[in-house]
Amino acid sequence: MIFHHEIDEALGYAPKMDVHVPGAPKLSLDAIGRAAITDHPGSVLLYMAWDKDEPGMVSTFTNTSVTSDPQTTVVKAFDAYTAKPVGLLGTGPMLVMLRLHTDMYLGLPGKWFMGIMGFLFMIAIISGVVLYWPFTRRLNFAAIRKQKSRRVLWLDWHNLLGVVTIVWALVVGGTGVINAYAEVMLGIWQRNELAAMAAPYAGKPTPAQLASLDKVLGNAMKVAPGMDPAFIAFPGTPFTSTHHFAVFLRGDTPLTSRLVKPVLLDGETGEVSDTSELPTYLKAVLVSQPLHFGDYGGMPLKIIWALLTVFTIIVLGSGLYLWAVKRSKVRRGARLSAGAQAAIGSSS
C-alpha cells in the first residue's frame, strides 16, 4: 500500500501521458465529458477528478446511473489536451490489495471488522508499554543480552523495537481506525451538513439539462481564489444533493491539499448556491489518510515507513514467540508440580 503508485507504474497500470508543448490549450471540460460518455455509451458521469501530480489528466467516473453500486463504477483517465482516453484507473493487482486491506471484499461489515482490529492493535501497544517497565527497569536503554538464552535475546529485541516504534505504530493504528469508519462519517455528513446546504432546494427534481461543466468549474473557482479543483461531483451522487453540482477545491501543500472545500452549484444554471468548510470529523478523515499510508514525504519517508512496518511485524512475531515459550513453561511447571504431588500422595 505504501508503494501503491510505484507498483502500479512498474506493472503498467498507470496511464501513460503524452507530452504536450508548454502553454498548449487544454480542451473544455464539456469536451472531456462528451468523450467519456462516447467511450461508455448509455452511462452517466458521476465525478471528474484531477490528480495533483498529473495536471494534464482528467479522470472520469461513469456508471449506468448515479445511484448504481460504486464497485461497478468505471474510472478512466483522459488527456486534458486531446480528450483521448489514456487508460483505466483503479484496476490491477494493487486494487485487489487495497480491497483486502480495507474491507476484505466484505463491504461495510469488513470495514467495521478492520476498524476493530486496528483498535485492538492499539490496545496491544499500550499493554506493551505497561509491561515495558517491569521487564526493563534493571537494564539500560537498548540493552541486548546476547550471552543469555534465545528467549532473553528475543525479549530484548521485542522491547527495543517495540518501544522505539510506539508513537509511529499508534499513529498508523489510530489513523487506520479513523479511515475504516470514513464511510460512516461521510454518511453522517450527508445526512446533516450536506442536507442542510441542500434544504432550500428540497423537492426539486434532478436537473433535466445539466449546466456547462466549464461554467460550473469557473464559478466555483471564483469562490476560493488560489485553490485548484480536486473533483466535481455530479447531481445525485453521494457527495452532493440531487439538484447540485459539488466542486471540491484544494490547496497546494500536503495539508491543505487534503482539506478540500466544497462549493455547491445549481445543476441547471451553474450558479453558486452555497459554500462551506468541511466539519472537523471529515477533516480528520482526510488528514488521517496520509498519516496511515506514509505517502506524503517523498520516497525516503516511504522507505522508512516500510522498514517500520517490518519492525512492527518483528514485534508481533517475537511477542507471539515469547507468549508461546512462557505458556509451555507454565504448563511444564504445572505438570511437574502435579507429578510431585502425586508422588508425595502415593508415598504417604
Q: Which is nearer to another protein, 108 or 142 (CB)?
A: 142
- Quote the DSSP letter at residue 201: G
Assess contact for 61 and 74: CB atoms under 8 A.
yes
CA 345 vs. chain centroid, Å, equals 64
Closest separation between CB of residue 173 and another protein, Å? 13
Quick check: 234 binds another protein (CB under 8 A)?
no
CA 5 vs. chain centroid, Å, equals 13
Quick check: 226 binds another protein (CB under 8 A)?
no
Q: Of residues 303-342, which lie at the interface with another protein (CB under 8 A)?
A: 304-305, 307-308, 311
Q: Which is nearer to another protein, 15 or 162 (CB)?
A: 162
Assess contact for 61 and 49: CB atoms under 8 A.
yes
# residues near another protein by CB under 8 A: 33
Distance CA(249)–CA(180), nearest Å, equals 24
Lookup: cell for 298: 517523498
Q: Give exposure, 17-50, as e/b (b: 16+ Cβ within 10 Å).
A: beeeeeeeebbebebbbebbeebbeebbbbbbbb
* Segment interacting with another protein, rule: CB under 8 A, options 25-33, 223-231, 232-240, 295-303: 295-303
Residue of 61, 15, 41 lying closest to 231 (CA atoms): 61
Closest separation between CB of residue 167 and another protein, Å? 4
Quick check: 291 binds another protein (CB under 8 A)?
yes
Q: Of residues 118-157, which lie at the interface with another protein (CB under 8 A)?
A: 132-133, 136-137, 140-142, 144
156 to 185: interface string for another protein, x by CB under 8 A: ----xx-xxxxxx--x--------------
Q: Which is nearer to another protein, 171 or 325 (CB)?
A: 171
Q: Which is nearer to another protein, 65 or 253 (CB)?
A: 253
Quick check: 1 binds another protein (CB under 8 A)?
no
Quick check: 31 binds another protein (CB under 8 A)?
no
Residue of 284, 94, 280, 279 lying closest to 178 (CA atoms): 284
HSE value, Cβ hemisphere, 13 Å, CA-based, for 33? 17
List of residues contacting another protein (CB under 8 A) = 132-133, 136-137, 140-142, 144, 160-161, 163-168, 171, 253-255, 287, 290-291, 296-298, 300-301, 304-305, 307-308, 311
